[in-house]
Structure 1
Amino acid sequence: MPGQPPGTVPAMRALLVVNPKATTTSERSRDVLVRALRSEVDLTVAYTRRRGHAADLARDAAAEGMHLVVTLGGDGTVNEAVNGLMAAGDKADNRPALAVVPGGSTNVFARAVGMPRDWADGASVILEALREERSRMINLGRADDRYFTFCAGLGLDAEVVRRVERARLRGRTSTPWLYLRSTLTQYFLETERRHPPVTLERPGERPLVGLATVIVQNAAPWTYLGDRPVNPCPDASFDTGLDVMALRELHVPSTTRTVKQILSREPQPHGKRVLNLHDLETFTLRADRPMAFQLDGDYLGERDKIELHSVADALRIVC
């Protein structure tokens, strides 16, 4: 680089993608984070201005040959950045690595890769990892043409995400109580529970029919209620394929029993009405009618067919 002494190793070039609406940070804390990162990398800072902007910024960072993209925001910001990075090349080594500073209300992905909940502690972990050149490869999930880091859902959980998003647009704060109330309202008043519409198809296997709602995990946990991890698929891992938990019906007794099993941290939800699948490379979900669909806690509309794949060694994470 111009102006450097002969033999000096060029500084790592990094982009910090900031969601200015991140719920757990302030302007002052962002300034502290920027100064800390600039002690280790040649840093550019960009603020998101609209939905999808983080993906554009990450894609541009890859095209400009940057080595690292750091996000400050929640799981939605992370998901967008990941999709921008994945558009940049076929191999992980040809894309910038990703580091995540927790700045949202839940931060499932950041916590799943071992980051502390506090943004300052998370920044310290990233700085230490940069100094030690520490990173890891993770698998990603892909639903049609969109990548996801920790979960996808077709049916009830996506309906709840949609309800929560609408509440937040009306000014409500995302809290465990909001999710709980939204879940109960959706389940009892609006979800169609009488005719399970979903079929799961796997190559070389008989179709699994009559599924009412489907949760897909690329990692554990699926989400958190405060400090409590919620784990429908406790064996899910960034190092394996995709895991599935589906309910064959949404009758009150069986659904209540399954929810209790999940919240009590039993090894795995089980019963006649529960389907568990582990380490799937590829499968397809078909529905008799359009159903709500979410990725990484982001509502993406209604779908009646989704092709899902596990993408091995897809992304390098600094953590």
Structure 2
Amino acid sequence: MRVMLVTNPFATFTTAAGRDTLANTLSARYDVDVEHTTHRGHAGELGARAAADGYDAVVVHGGDGTVNEVVNGILGAPDRPSPVDPADLPALGVIPGGSANVFARALGIDRDPIVATAQLILLLDSGSRRPISLGHTLNRWFLFNAGMGMDAIVVRRMEDKRRKGKKATAQRYFATTVSSFFSSSVTPPVFTVTVPDREPIEGVRFGFVSNTGPWTYFGTRPIATNPHTDFDHGLGVFAATSVGILRNIALGSQLLRGSDNPHARHLFRDDDVEWVRFTGAEPADVQMDGDYLGRYTELEFGTRKHVLHVAAAQPE
């Protein structure tokens, strides 16, 4: 089996020794080419090369942003004129190396890289390939979530902190989220959310679109904004029309408790829609899979069924 191992030496929780151990372990069983990312977008270039050169699998050791880049490289843009059968593309394997590792954990991959490597070897040896659906917007694929408004503001502020040398820990994300809601210098946008067969939701202050659940993790605790969204169905929508502290503390406590039905008077939620549209008069912050993308006035979200094969067990 021919495998490309893509590692991100800048990921939050990877080490040189750990990367070497992973490379040596996989090389003992497979024909492995090791590639270290050196710049933003490099992982996408490597994913595209792996698809063009006919690799059987691409294993990514890094955070969610690196995995996202590799997937976009493997698949090409959502609007490409001649999509490739996913069975003819490399299977994707993930060894967690970031701070949250939402995608890997949603697939049932252990957080511990050593345990995850053992899982991956069993899956590759058995030829296990699970087809999953992906969301897309801005002509890019997203693996688990994208958002406009407050969550993107938090991601932007976290990226500013990381550039200053601070690690992206769960506690720092939590503190940044709380401070963003309380800060007078943070002005969330106002936009409209449209979904099929419903009147537009006006006055939205922040909105999430999920491709699976959970939306993220607080340490070991899953935060599920759309508990019934998964890799085999449509998109989840979570749109709030208020940034009021008391309203959102109550809503946030439901998410922290793991509610199976998060609800509030200022919240619209649907766990399975075909498409979603966000439109606003002023540009708003946007994030995808935890990476900040910039500011936009309009986003159209869609989904493509079973477009990617992953080395993961089938859901029970």
* TM-score class normalised by the smaller sequence: over 0.9
Pairing partner for 1:171 from 157, 165, 168: 165
**Cα distance between partner residues in 1 of 2:196 and 2:15:** 49
Letter in 1 for 2:300: E
Runs of 5+ unmatched residues, structure 2: 78-82
Q: Could you tell me which residue of structure 1 aligns to residue 80 of structure 2? A: none
Query: 1:203, CA displacement in angstroms?
Result: 4.4
AA partner of residue 198 (structure 1): F
Are 1:254 and 2:243 counterparts? no
1:191 and 2:153 correspond: no
* Partner amino acid, structure 2, of 1:151: N
SS of aligned partner of 2:60 = strand
- How many angstroms apart in 2 are the aligned matches of 1:235 and 1:162? 28
Matched position secondary structure for 1:305:
strand
1:181 to 166, 175, 179: 175
Matches within 5 A, 1:1-319: 12-87=1-76, 89-189=83-183, 190-192=185-187, 197-319=190-312
Q: In 2, distance between residues paired with 1:271 and 1:16?
A: 44
Larger Rg: 1
1:283 deviates by 2.0
User: In structure 2, what is the Cα distance between the partners aligned to 1:17 and 1:246?
Assistant: 35
Q: Which runs of 5+ in 1 are unaligned?
A: 1-11
Q: Give % identity.
A: 38
Q: Is the 8 A contact 1:40 1:130 kept in 2?
A: no
Q: Name the CA distance, whole Å, in 2 between partners of 1:67 and 1:132.
A: 13
Amino acid at match of 1:272: R
Root-mean-square deviation (CA, aligned residues, Å) is 1.4
Q: Aligned partners of 1:30 and 1:250: how far apart in 2? A: 42
Q: CA deviation at 1:199?
A: 1.0
Q: Is the 8 A contact 2:147 2:287 kept in 1?
A: yes
In 1, Cα distance between the equivalents of 2:102 and 2:194?
28
Secondary structure in 2 aligned to 1:61? Answer: helix
Cα deviation, 1:228-264, whole Å, max 9, x if unaligned, reads 1111111110111100111111112211111111111
* Equivalent AA in structure 1 for residue 292 of structure 2: Y
- One-letter identity of the residue aligned with 2:186: T
Letter in 2 for 1:231: A
Q: Deviation of residue 299 (structure 1)? A: 0.5
Partner of residue 9, structure 1 = none
Separation of aligned partners in 2, 1:208 and 1:105 = 33
Contact map agreement 2:60 2:94 (CA 8 A) in 1:
yes
CA distance in 1, matches of 2:105, 2:8: 18
CA distance in 1 between partners of 2:187 and 2:18 (Å): 45
Give the deviation of 1:24 after TM superposition.
2.3
Aligned residues: 306
Which whole-Å deviations, capped at 9, do the CAs of 1:141-172 have from their partners, x for residues lacking one?
10120111011110000100100110010011
Aligned residue for 1:139, secondary structure, equals strand
Offset, 1:46: 0.7
**CA-CA distance at 1:204 after TM superposition:** 4.9
